[in-house]
Amino acid sequence: MAQVLEFKLPDLGEGLTEAEIVRWLVEVGDVVAIDQPVVEVETAKAMVEVPCPYGGVVTARFGEEGAELPVGAPLLTVAVGSTSPGTGREAAGPAPEPASGTGPEPAGESSGNVLVGYGTGAPAARRRRVRPTPVTAAPAVARSAPAPASVPAATPVADPAPAAEETRGPVAVVSPLVRKLAREHGLDLRQITGTGRDGLILRTDVESAIKGDAGRSATAAAPVAGPVAEAAGERVPLRGVRGAVADKLARSRREIPDATCWVDADATELMAARAAMNGAGGGAAAPKVSVLALLARICTAALARFPELNATVDAEAREIVRLPEIHLGFAAQTERGLVVPVVRGAHARNVESMGAEISRLTEAGRAGKLTPADLTGGTFTLNNYGVFGVDGSTPIINHPEAAMLGVGRIVPKPWVHEGQLAVRQVVQLSLTFDHRVCDGGTAGGFLRYVADCVEQPAVLLRTL
C-alpha cells in the first residue's frame, strides 16, 4: 500500500525564512528519484534547487511559480512504496492521509537527509525527469477526488485559519504571507478571484485588489486603520534581494553608530603600475589586473595594520570580536539587484589570485548562480561606486561588519604635484566605520595608509 508523504520547504540556512518559487522541475504524476531536484526557488541570497528526500510518484504540488512560501510550508506530496506506474493497481484506490515528512519513512524510499541550503547529496547534474504512461499512475490527494493527469496540480487544502475572515467559508490560499497582506489592508479573501491554478489566490491577486484593479480582482471590506493606497501609485514589494538589502541597511542604521571620513588621493602612479603589470608578458590572453583587485589587495594590507576594523560587535556580551581572517566582500550590481560576494581568505591572496576570484564571483552574480555561501561571512566590504560615474558617497556599513571603504571614479583633475600644478588621476576614498570598535585616529590611520598605497604603490611592494 502506498504511503503519501508531505515534503515541506526545508530550512535554507543563513537565517532565511522564506523563498519564492521560480520554476517547478516536476509535475503531478511524475516519478521522482530520491534526492532529485523538484523545484527551483529564489531566496534573498541566491537561486537554489531543492531536492526531495523521497522517491515515488508526485501526487500534489503546493504553490504557483512566483508564489512566496515560508520555511515549513508544504511543497509537494509523494506516494512512496506504490506499485510500478505501468500497473496502476494501487494508484487506482483511495489515497492514504499524507504523512509528515519528519516522521518514520519506508525503508529504502528516502535519503534520510534534510536540505539546508545546498541539497541532500544529489549529484551536480540534474537527473532526467521520468513520466509514467498511464493516466491513473498518480494516487488521489487526501481529502479530494482523484486528479486526472491533465490537471497540473491538485487543489491544496487551506491551512488553519489564523483570522476571522477565513472561518466564513473555504478560501483557496496557501501562503500565510498572502493572508497577512490581505488582513493588513482589510480585504475579504472571499471577494478576491484567484488567478492561480484551481482558483488559488496569489500574492499578485491581493496586490491588484489593493490597487483597485477591477479587471483582475475586487475588494470588499473597508480599509482598516493604517497606510492604504487610496490614490494612484505603484507599490513595489520589498522582497527577495531588494527586501534583504532593505532589512540589512535599516538594521545597520539602527544598531551601528557609524562615522565617515574621506580623502582625495592621486591615483596616477597606481594606474601606471597597473598598466605596467598588464603589459609585462603573458600575451593578450593573460588575465588583466583590475583596479578593483589592486584596491582589494591594498585593503587587506591596511587591515593587517589596523585589525580593529576587521571586527564585529557582540552587543549582548558587550564585546568587540576581532576576527583572525579577512573575508573581503565587494559590492556588485546585477540584474537581481545589489549583491555583495565574498572573497574568502583574502588575507592570503596576492593580486592575481584576488583578481581571479573577483572575476569568478562577478560572473556568477551576473548569471544568478551565486550560492548563499558566496554571499555570507564577510568581515569587511569594498564598494567601488565609481563605476556609476560618481565621485563620492557615504557608505552604509554591511551589518554586522565594522567598516566599509568606498571608492569613487578615477578622473583627471588639477593637482599640485611636486610643487607644480598638474593634471593627475584623482580618486576620492571614503571610510565609514563603527565608532564602537575604534576612534577616529585608527580610522584615519587606516584611510591614510590606503591613500598612501594608491599614491605610491611601492609602499605595498613588501606585502605583495
CB 166 within 8 A of CB 158: yes
Residues 68 and 186 both lie in one domain: no
What does the alpha-carbon distance between residue 5 and residue 14 come to, in Å, rounded to a whole number?
27
What is the mean predicted confidence (pLDDT) over 152-179?
46
Interatomic CA distance for residues 175 and 63, integer angstroms: 8
* Number of compact structural domains in the chain: 3
Q: How far apart are CA 25 and CA 264, in angstroms?
A: 53
Whichever domain contains 202, its CATH number is 4.10.320.10
Query: Does a structural domain hold residue 181?
Result: yes
- Residue 394 Cα distances to 17, 26, 67, 68, angstroms: 30, 47, 36, 34
Q: Cβ-count burial of 457 within 10 angstroms (0-12 exposed, 13-18 middle, 19+ buried)? A: buried
Closest to 292 measured CA to CA, from 242, 361, 244: 361
Q: What's residue 151's pLDDT?
A: 36
Same domain, 163 and 151: no
Place of cell 565587494: 330
Do residue 143 and residue 163 come from a single domain?
Answer: no
My answer on whether 148 and 179 are in the same domain is no
The least confident of 22-36, 298-312, 315-329 is: 22-36
Q: Is the pLDDT of residue 145 over 90?
A: no
134 and 275 share one domain: no
DSSP designation for 62: -
Q: State the average pLDDT over residues 63-73.
A: 88
Q: Is residue 273 located within the same domain as residue 403? A: yes
Give the DSSP H/E element, type plus range, for residue 353: helix 351-366
Buried b or exposed e, range 384-406, using 16+ CB within 10 angstroms: bbbeeeebbbebbbbbbbbbbbb
pLDDT of residue 104 exceeding 90, the answer is: no
Residue 256: which of 313, 216, 215, 206 has the closest Cα?
A: 313
Region 339-359: mean pLDDT is 94
Average pLDDT of the residues in 36-55? 83
Whether residues 8 and 98 fall in one domain: yes
Distance from C-alpha of 119 to C-alpha of 151, rounded to nearest angstrom: 28
- Please check whether residue 190 lies inside any domain of the structure: yes
What is the rounded distance in angstroms from the CA atom of residue 301 to the CA atom of residue 457?
A: 12
Tell which of 237, 269, 294 closes a domain.
Answer: 237
pLDDT tens-digit readout, 113-136: 444 333 333 333 343 444 444 433
pLDDT of residue 175: 56
Give the active site residue among 185, 399, 417, 435: 435
Active site residue 435: yes
Q: What is the pLDDT of residue 212?
A: 74
Q: Which long-range contacts (CB under 8 A, 24 or more apart) does 316-324 make?
A: 320/436, 320/437, 323/379
With 60 as the cut, is the pLDDT of residue 112 above it? no
302 & 418 share domain: yes
Is the distance from CB of 210 to CB of 235 less than 8 angstroms? yes
Which residue in 50, 46, 1 sits closest to 23, CA to CA? 50
Q: Tell me what pLDDT residue 136 has.
A: 39
Residue at 287 is within a domain: yes
Give the end of a domain, one of 123, 155, 187.
155
Decide if pLDDT at 91 tops 70: no
Q: Are 52 and 112 in contact (CB under 8 A)?
A: no
How many angstroms separate the CA atoms of 410 and 235, rounded? Answer: 37
- The helix-helix angle for 176-184 and 203-210 (nearest 10°) equals 10
Residue 324, domain extent: 254-463
Q: Element (H or E) spanning 69, and its range? A: strand 68-70
Q: Does any domain span residue 244?
A: no
Q: Are residues 42 and 139 in the same domain?
A: yes
Interhelix angle for 291-305 vs 351-366, to 10°? Answer: 120
Above 50 in pLDDT, residue 159?
A: no
Contacts of the segment 438-444: beta carbons below 8 A, 24+ positions apart:
438/306, 438/308, 438/309, 438/402, 440/259, 440/261, 442/306, 442/308, 442/309, 443/259, 443/261, 443/309, 443/403, 444/261
Q: Is-contact 45 20, C-beta < 8 A?
A: no
Mean pLDDT of the chain: 77
Please say which residue of 155, 187, 217 terminates a domain: 155
Return the ∠ at Cα 187 (arms to 183 and 193), rounded to 5°.
120
Residue position matching grid coordinates 604635484 = 417
Q: Which of 433, 245, 432 is nearest to 331 (CA)?
A: 245
- Let me know whether 133 and 61 are in one domain: yes
**CATH number of the domain bearing residue 107:** 2.40.50.100
Strand (E) or helix (H) holding 322 = strand 319-322
Percent of the chain with pLDDT over 70: 71
Q: What CA–CA distance (Å, rounded) separates 195 from 151?
A: 15
pLDDT category at 384 given cuts 50, 70, 90 is very high
Q: Is residue 249 part of a domain?
A: no
d(CA 110, CA 34): 6
C-alpha span between 375 and 101 (Å, rounded): 30
> Do 410 and 329 belong together in one domain?
yes
Q: Give the Cα separation of 233 and 9 in Å (integer).
A: 34
Does residue 108 come out as left (phi exceeding 0), alpha (psi in the -120 to 50 range) or beta? left
In a domain, 246, yes or no: no
Q: Is residue 342 part of a domain?
A: yes
User: Residue 49: what residue type?
Assistant: E
Q: Is 371 part of any domain?
A: yes
Q: Which of 213, 203, 161 is nearest to 182 (CA)?
A: 203
Percent of the chain with pLDDT over 90: 45
3-class DSSP state of 210: helix
Same domain, yes or no: 285 and 434? yes
CB 339 within 8 A of CB 364: no
